[in-house]
């Protein structure tokens, strides 16, 4: 038991975020049911909320998920990706990667959507203008990309290629339901941005 407790002491950030998302799941009753539109509107982030100056939504959106199976998938990926990064790269570095990638990914999406809306050439951009994104996925995909540097070069190439193909496929699937669930498109685009961003953040850092 003592070695297990000592091991957990190496993962304070992972445990803290995990616990916060579990508590948010209890608050929003999203363990088994989809997160309600009211919760999304109260805590989610979108280009609309950014335009209104509600920058705090970039952080509040982290702790809620789309609910149902998305909740369980999110906490599993959080535990694996963030936990692995924190175990190997220490807490402070993992926190920086998680929050920096999350914020950068969402800001990048907002800038891209703003440009599309102003151009008037992308009708779907209006559907995404107020799609309230929630979840820690951008952060944990960033940690996954950050941790991928530990792989042997050959395996790293295969893993990164496979991940990019998978994420592009997910965007294609979610795009089919853009009218019903536009937030899923935002989430999948965030993953595609976050994963390579996490890899870029390994530049100049060596494993300790």
Locate tokens 């963030």: which residue? Answer: 82
**Binned average pLDDT, 10 residues per bin, the chain of 208 residues:** 66 97 95 92 93 92 94 96 94 96 95 88 84 94 92 90 95 91 92 95 58
Q: Residue 133 pairs with which residues in a beta bridge?
A: 45
SS3 content of the chain, % helix, strand, coil (to 5): 75, 0, 25
Tell me what pLDDT residue 108 has.
Answer: 95
Tell me what pLDDT residue 119 has: 85
């Amino acid at each position: 038991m003592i070695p297990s407790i000592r091991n957990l002491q190496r993962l304070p950030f992972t445990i803290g975020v995990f616990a916060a998302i579990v508590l948010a799941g209890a608050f929003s009753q999203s363990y088994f049911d989809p997160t309600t539109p009211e919760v999304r509107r109260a805590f989610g982030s979108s280009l609309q909320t950014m335009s209104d100056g509600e920058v705090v939504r970039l952080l509040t959106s982290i702790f809620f998920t789309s609910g149902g199976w998305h909740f369980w998938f999110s906490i599993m990926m959080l535990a694996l990706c963030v936990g692995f990064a924190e175990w190997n790269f220490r807490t402070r570095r993992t926190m920086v990667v998680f929050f920096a990638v999350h914020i950068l990914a969402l800001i990048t999406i907002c800038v891209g959507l703003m440009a599309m809306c102003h151009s008037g050439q992308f009708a779907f951009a209006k559907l995404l203008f107020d799609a309230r994104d929630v979840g820690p996925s951008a952060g944990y995909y960033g940690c996954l990309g950050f941790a991928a540097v530990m792989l042997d070069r050959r395996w790293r190439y295969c893993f990164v290629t496979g991940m990019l193909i998978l994420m592009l496929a997910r965007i294609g699937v979610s795009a089919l339901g853009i009218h019903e669930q536009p937030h899923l498109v935002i989430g999948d685009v965030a993953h595609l941005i976050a994963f390579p961003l996490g890899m870029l953040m390994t530049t100049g850092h060596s494993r300790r």
